[in-house]
Amino acid sequence: MKILVLGSGAREHAIIVSLLSEGAGHEVLAAPGNAGIGRVATLVDLDPNDPVAVTNFADDAGVNLVVIGPEAPLVAGVADRLRENGVPVFGPGRAAAQLEGSKAFAKRIMQAAGVPTGRALRAASLIEAEAALDELGAPYVVKADGLAAGKGVIVTEDRAAALAHAAEFLPQGALLIEEFLSGPEVSLFFVSDGHTVVPLSPAQDYKRALDDDEGPNTGGMGAYSPLPWLSTQFGGEEEFVAEVQRTVAEPVVRELANEQTPFIGLLYAGLILTDSGIRVIEFNARFGDPETQVVLPRLATPLSSLLFAAASGTLDEADAPRFALDTAVTVVLASEGYPEAPQTGRVITGLDAASAVDGVHIAHAATTQRGDELVASGGRVLSVVAVGTTFAESVERAYRAIGEIGLDGSHYRSDIAARVIEGN
Ligand code: AMP
Ligand code: GLY
């Protein structure tokens, strides 16, 4: 197949590595990609957020499948335009992508579909925000409605800080003040063709910048999969996945189909396992980053068949995805100053030595080639991925590899999957 992947991060690099690992001779193109992606796929100079440009390119180049990585092209309507022109595309249209683009829309769909989620109050002014904070009590959770690149949410015990956050984001529109939910977080992906839904394997993401979940929220500093503790806390991964499929994914996909905005693509359920059961904290309309980097290396069935079946409405006839029992861990290497003010343009060294570690590959998140040098071009720079038979093995490999990499001022968390090893 000729496959065009839109996006430029480690998630897209991981998707492409997975497609190429099938050994099916796919021709993979990426727009715009990055330096690491350019080593394995053909980079195309194309604005991924421009529906007309993407569709014209896909038509002219005879692309068989377009896979949309990030949310921006979804919200820009790239999938709608491709579908109107008969190009198979993995990614929801603009309307269904509101599940990620608007937290208020997501809450409405969850309510209509009877999906378990925290209580939320809408606040359109500071006075309403104060009333909502006092009604729900501390810890306070304040969320901006639209896409805010991970910066729209604050969780705090400090009422003044919650109000300051509300004041900052209110000019952009109404806020949601949410009930605080406590428990471990799980990211679970579902592939949907608009009607049929199939689950992938759960992962856990580390959202805070520093060890022990200190520091600001980020796009994600590391992840691991599977989640062995689901066996003790939930009776098993299979049971957990089946319950989320039945109580969350299927009702949401059914509701969106009923509203004539079918969800074709990746439904990302961000969940908290509270003492009173599973609750949805957010949906995304795309693969998660960095969770994808640990879910896809464990996928034992071809990714291209799965995504193509979803794009062409034939998921009910496709083979169910199967996962290897291996463990996978990723540790993100971030630029100095990330997430507030990342320093870019610095030289990266040591990638050959890092990649030579058994079971390791490096997904590039924000890299550019400058002559002979590879330089960092964003906040999250590399996602070092390691697989192994046990977490002790994959974690040791990931940290040995990241220790080989040089990037002035860079930082990473040193506790990814640490608690899983202690619990083993
Ligand atoms: P979101 O952008 O909605 O995923 O929120 C970012 C992070 O804030 C989540 O991964 C959680 O760690 C935290 N968070 C969001 N909503 C809640 C909530 N209702 N209760 C507790 N923590 C939350
Ligand atoms: N890792 C969180 C996200 O992809 O939104």
CATH of the domain at 237: 3.30.470.20
pLDDT value, residue 43: 98
The DSSP bridge partners found for residue 360 are: 386
For residue 359, tell me if it sits in a domain. yes
For residue 396, tell me if it sits in a domain. yes
Q: What is the Cα–Cα distance from 97 to 9, expressed in whole angstroms?
A: 19
Ligand 2 environment, Cβ below 6 A: 205, 220, 284, 288-289, 291
Taking CA atoms only, the protein residue closest to ligand 2 atom 3 is 288
Closest CA to 94 of 254, 262, 297: 262
| 331 & 300 share domain | no
**CATH code of the domain containing 140:** 3.30.1490.20
Q: Which ligand is nearest to the CA of 288?
A: 2
User: Which of 186, 187, 206, 296 for mutating ligand 2's site (highest number of atoms within 8 Å of CB)?
Assistant: 187
Q: Which of 291, 317, 343 is the last residue of a domain?
A: 317
pLDDT value, residue 188: 98
Neighbours of 310 (CB within 10 A): 28
| 234 & 128 share domain | no
CB-neighbour burial class of residue 171 (10 A; exposed 0-12, middle 13-18, buried 19+): exposed
| 337 & 414 share domain | yes
Sheet holding 277-284, edge to edge: 197-199, 185-193, 264-274, 277-284
pLDDT value, residue 152: 81
Name the 3-class secondary structure at 30.
strand
Q: Which of 283, 317, 351 is the last residue of a domain?
A: 317
For residue 114, tell me if it sits in a domain. no
**CATH code of the domain containing 412:** 3.90.600.10
For residue 59, tell me if it sits in a domain. yes
Instruction: Tell which atom from ligand 2 comes closest to the C-alpha of 287.
Output: 4
CA of 61 to the centre of ligand 2 (A): 31
Q: What is the Cα–Cα distance from 286 to 34, expressed in whole angstroms?
A: 19
Cα-Cα-Cα-Cα dihedral sign, residues 82, 87, 88, 90: negative
Neighbours of 325 (CB within 10 A): 8
Q: What is the Cα–Cα distance from 145 to 28, expressed in whole angstroms?
A: 35
Determine phi and psi for 29, rounding to 5 degrees.
-115, 150
pLDDT value, residue 325: 83
Q: What is the Cα–Cα distance from 95 to 91, expressed in whole angstroms?
A: 11
- Between the two ends of the chain, the Cα-to-Cα distance in Å is 42
Residue-wise pLDDT for 99-111, tens only, equals: 998 888 999 999 9
| 313 & 332 share domain | no
CA of 371 to the centre of ligand 2 (A): 32
For 154, the token pair is: 């604050």
| 336 & 261 share domain | no
Taking CA atoms only, the protein residue closest to ligand 1 atom 3 is 282
- Tokens 């066996």, residue located: 231
| 195 & 288 share domain | yes
Overall domain count for the chain? 4
The CA–CA distances, whole Å, from 234 to 202, 207, 229, 237, 291 equal 13, 23, 8, 7, 21
| 192 & 288 share domain | yes
User: Which of 103, 276, 281 for mutating ligand 1's site (highest number of atoms within 8 Å of CB)?
Assistant: 281
Taking CA atoms only, the protein residue closest to ligand 2 atom 5 is 288
Q: With contact defined as beta carbons under 8 Å apart, do 241 and 188 qualify?
A: yes
| 39 & 160 share domain | no
User: Which of 154, 155, 175, 208 for mutating ligand 1's site (highest number of atoms within 8 Å of CB)?
Assistant: 155
| 265 & 283 share domain | yes
pLDDT value, residue 423: 67
Q: With contact defined as beta carbons under 8 Å apart, do 287 and 280 qualify?
A: no
Residue-wise pLDDT for 212-231, tens only, equals: 999 988 999 999 999 999 98
Taking CA atoms only, the protein residue closest to ligand 2 atom 4 is 288
Q: With contact defined as beta carbons under 8 Å apart, do 267 and 206 qualify?
A: no
Q: Which amino acid is at 401?
A: A
**pTM (predicted TM-score):** 0.95
Q: Which amino acid is at 8?
A: S
Element (H, E) at 19: helix 10-21
Per-residue confidence of the chain (424 residues) as pLDDT tens digits?
999 999 999 999 999 999 999 999 999 999 999 999 999 999 999 999 999 999 999 999 999 999 999 999 999 999 999 999 999 999 999 999 999 988 889 999 999 999 999 999 999 999 999 999 999 999 999 998 776 655 688 899 999 999 999 999 998 888 999 999 999 999 999 999 999 999 999 999 999 999 999 998 899 999 999 999 998 877 889 999 999 999 999 999 999 999 999 999 999 999 999 999 999 999 999 999 999 999 999 999 999 999 999 999 999 999 999 999 899 999 999 999 999 999 999 999 999 999 999 999 999 999 999 999 999 999 999 999 999 999 999 999 999 999 999 999 999 999 999 999 876 5
| 218 & 125 share domain | no
Cα-Cα-Cα-Cα dihedral sign, residues 218, 221, 226, 231: negative
For residue 111, tell me if it sits in a domain. no
Range of the domain at 133: 120-178
Q: With contact defined as beta carbons under 8 Å apart, do 269 and 279 qualify?
A: no
**CATH code of the domain containing 73:** 3.40.50.20
Q: What is the Cα–Cα distance from 67 to 286, expressed in whole angstroms?
A: 10
Instruction: Tell which atom from ligand 2 comes closest to the C-alpha of 288.
Output: 4
Q: With contact defined as beta carbons under 8 Å apart, do 104 and 117 qualify?
A: no
For residue 99, tell me if it sits in a domain. no
For residue 75, tell me if it sits in a domain. yes
Q: Which of 257, 285, 317 is the last residue of a domain?
A: 317
For residue 106, tell me if it sits in a domain. no
Q: What is the Cα–Cα distance from 164 to 173, expressed in whole angstroms?
A: 15
Q: Which ligand is nearest to the CA of 117?
A: 1
pLDDT value, residue 174: 85
| 272 & 367 share domain | no
pLDDT value, residue 150: 59
Taking CA atoms only, the protein residue closest to ligand 1 atom 9 is 281
Q: What is the Cα–Cα distance from 220 to 234, expressed in whole angstroms?
A: 25
| 333 & 410 share domain | yes
